[in-house]
Amino acid sequence: MNHRYIYQLVTGCLLASVTFFSACKKKSDFVGIDNYITSFSLKKGSTTFMAAITDSSIIINAPEGFSLDSATATVKLSEHASIYPNPSAIISWNEESQFVVNAYDGARKIYRYTIQRKGISVDNDVVLATQADVDAFAAQGATEIAGNLIIGAMTGTDSITNLNGLYKLKKIGYSLIVYPTFSG
């Protein structure tokens, strides 16, 4: 056989196979128009706060007095979307801010991040008979008591030396009762 004929045959077969395989290539259905935040949470220590996400708002509900500074954010976005600024670079979560989410096709959506502070409520009466009781109550971080607040013991000598642990308390549902044994 002629070398030229073999060369033309091989070249023709290669061209036909390239044309065939490129015609079989599946076209992607991905358009990339979604620019949504699908979930958002902040974690500080062992506490995780899940955000309520509405049309263009990210709302974190946190207790009064709880600092979210240095919390770690976990954010999930639509496929191939990107977010600016990067939540992992943010340290101060106690302030309102905005995020821009860009879809794969370049469409932008702006989300407003806010915090709603809520009081920590104790549903029953609270009896603080000793300094240890005051300190334990302070550790709860409660801001409201639905029932009565009773300070001191009915009889005996008082062991409460200070009430600084009650500084977060803003509301008592019923009565403040201070027994006469309280000497503060």
Q: Which residues contact 86 (CB under 8 A, 6 or more apart)?
A: none
Q: How does DSSP assign 117-146, residue by residue?
A: EE--EE-S-EEE-SHHHHHHHHHHT--EES
What CA–CA distance (Å, rounded) separates 167 from 161? 15
pLDDT at 25: 52
pLDDT band at 163 (very low <50, low <70, confident <90, very high): very high
Q: Looking at residue 1, what is its pLDDT? A: 59
For residue 18, tell me if it sits in a domain.
Answer: no
pTM: 0.59
**Gyration radius (Cα) of the chain, Å:** 32
> What pLDDT band is residue 53 in, cutting at 50, 70 and 90?
very high
Whether the pLDDT of residue 95 is over 60: the answer is yes
129 and 89 share one domain: no
DSSP assignment, residue 26?
A: P
Confidence of residue 11 (pLDDT cuts 50, 70, 90): confident
171 inside domain: yes
Question: Can you read off the two tokens belonging to residue 142?
Answer: 């409660």
State the Cα–Cα distance between residues 134 and 84, nearest whole angstrom.
Answer: 45
Determine the distance from the C-alpha atom of residue 176 to the mean position of all C-alpha atoms in its chain, rounded to a whole number: 36
List alpha helices for the chain, DSSP H: 3-24, 131-140
Of 100, 118, 136, which marks where a domain is finished? 118
* Single residue among 101, 118, 135 that ends a domain in this structure: 118
CATH code assigned at 86: 2.60.40.2340
Residue 27: per-residue pLDDT: 57
- Cβ–Cβ < 8 Å for 41, 48: yes
- Residue range of the domain that includes 102: 37-118
Q: HSE of 91 in the Cβ direction (CA atoms, 13 Å)? A: 0
Structural domain count of the chain: 2
* Strongest mean pLDDT among 74-88, 135-149, 159-173: 74-88
> CA-CA distances (angstroms) from residue 5 to 8, 9, 12?
5, 6, 10
